Amino acid sequence: MDSCGTDSGESSREGEGTPNRDGEVSARPTQGPPRPQIKTKVKKRRIKTFASSSTRQLQRKKAEKEELREQALFLQAQLDLLQRSKYGDGGAVQPDLSHSPAPVSSATTSEWYDQAVRQFVFRQQSEKTNRELRSILANQLHSAEALRAILQRRTLLEGMDLVFGGAAPLYRPPQSLDNSVGIMKQLEKRVEDLYLDSRAGFGWDRPSLVSSNMKVNPNTQYGKVIEIETVTPVACSIHEAAAVLWKDLKTVHEIPDKSYRYLRGSTPNSLEKNFVMKLRGQDNIIEINGSHYSRKFEDRQRIVLAKADSIILPTEGLEFRSPSLTTIATSESNPQHSVVRSYLRIYAEVQPNLDARQEDVEFARNFILNGLSKMMYGCALKTQSELIQQSLVV
């Protein structure tokens, strides 16, 4: 109790003022905790942008007014058309024909007026449909852009094997085949002829030893014919060797300056290819378009792979052909082994009545023949080496 009274007295005395010289009592300021200083926030000036709410509202109102105006015109035109069709020409406003050079009947005027109203209605409908289609297209483009941005963020697509299942193939499906269908039919016929020639008896002069050879033979019809021949004895059956070769044919090899338009097989034992390739020289680069057809024939004692290529150079009127025949037969020394023999010819055919200089034709023919022979001979050696390695594994 005493402490409480003492405290109250002291506090009351502290609140009293002290007399000054004039006898007036001045109030003594009370000492309290310092008040925190409140910082006044500077209000930023609002900048109107294209995406602000007021701008969007004005644009929406403007679009609504425009749409209502067009609807009013459209409805007025329909109303006029209905009134004229219902009441005839009685309620229509007749034009002033007093100064016309020739009289015009009311029936003709009514017919032209109705036709004009109909055309106006059709035009309004067409414009409305056009605007709706443009709006749909804009939304589609916006959605496609947003989806493209999402797909580029791989972190959002983890675990989706459908998107990241593997690398893109080196060939693409055909978009327009142009004349490739007719060319494939011709190549298929050539392949069948090659197989018939092999059944009649193809002359193999080289012994059953690992060998390869490329030679250039002059020809009166084609000018120059390049022949590539390989012989590969392998320690496996004819079916195993054929499986290795057929798999190699169906594989898209990475060759510089060569891309495939498509690679497909209409039947299990056939294969079709269409490609574009650039042949580079010291001072020249020529782009060629090629088509390939191959087929596997299985006989009782052998398997035949017949191939035909057609490489066209339209600017020079040249077609380069490379028929190829590969036979896989059982080895005479060991029935468990087999011998693979391949024969390839490369030559050029010139279109008759070609309007081109002879030196230009000769240059293009020699340039492409040299490039094709080097590339195909390298592929033949690579296939021979791979066949030997795979047969050892088998």
Q: In terms of domains, do 80 and 184 share one?
A: no
- Greatest mean pLDDT range, 60-69, 90-99, 191-200, 319-328: 319-328
Give the residue from 134, 166, 192 where a domain finishes.
134
249 and 332 both lie in a single domain: yes
Same domain, 130 and 217: no
Helix/strand/coil percentages in the chain, nearest 5: 45, 25, 35
pLDDT tens sequence across 230-258: 999 999 999 999 999 999 888 887 778 88
Does residue 167 lie within any of the structural domains?
no
Same domain, 256 and 361: yes
The pLDDT score that the predictor gives to residue 213 is 92
352 and 279: one domain? yes
Please report whether residue 53 resides in a domain: no
Burial class of 371 by CB neighbour count within 10 A (0 to 12, 13 to 18, 19+): middle
**Residues 206, 215: Cα–Cα separation, whole Å:** 14
Is 320 domain-assigned?
Answer: yes
Residue 262 sits in the same domain as residue 355: yes
Share of the chain above pLDDT 70, in %: 68
Q: For all residues of the chain together, what is the average pLDDT?
A: 75
Residue type, 168: A
Lowest mean pLDDT among 85-99, 103-117, 177-191: 85-99
Decide if 174 contacts 262 (C-beta within 8 A): yes
Provide the token pair at 41: 């926030």
Kindly state the average pLDDT of the residues 326-336: 90
220 and 118 share a domain?
A: no
Same domain, 281 and 214: yes
CA atoms within 13 A on the CB side of 371: 23
| Residues 268, 360 within the same domain | yes
**pLDDT of 39 above 70:** no
Q: How many domains does the structure of the chain reveal?
A: 2
pTM, whole model, 2 decimals?
Answer: 0.53
CA distances from 193 to 110, 204, 265, 281, 295 (A): 76, 18, 20, 35, 12
Please write the tens of the pLDDT for every residue from 175-210.
334 466 788 888 999 999 998 888 765 556 667 788
**pLDDT value of position 126:** 87
In a domain, 332, yes or no: yes
Q: Is 319 a domain residue? A: yes
- Co-location of 223 and 333 in the same domain: yes
Using pLDDT thresholds of 50, 70 and 90, give the confidence band for residue 33: low
Q: Please check the confidence at residue 16 and state whether its pLDDT lies above 60.
A: no
Which residue range forms the structural domain that includes residue 306? Answer: 180-393
Residue 329 lies in a domain: yes
Q: Which amino acid is at 263?
A: L
Type of residue numbered 17: G
Residue 33 lies in a domain: no
Compute the distance between CA of residue 255 and CA of residue 137 in angstroms, rounded to an integer.
41
Q: Is residue 191 located within the same domain as residue 287?
A: yes
pLDDT tier, 38 (very low <50, low <70, confident <90, very high otherwise)? low
CA distance 352 to 210: 41
Q: Does residue 371 share a domain with residue 281? A: yes
Residue 381 lies in a domain: yes
CATH number at residue 303: 3.30.530.20
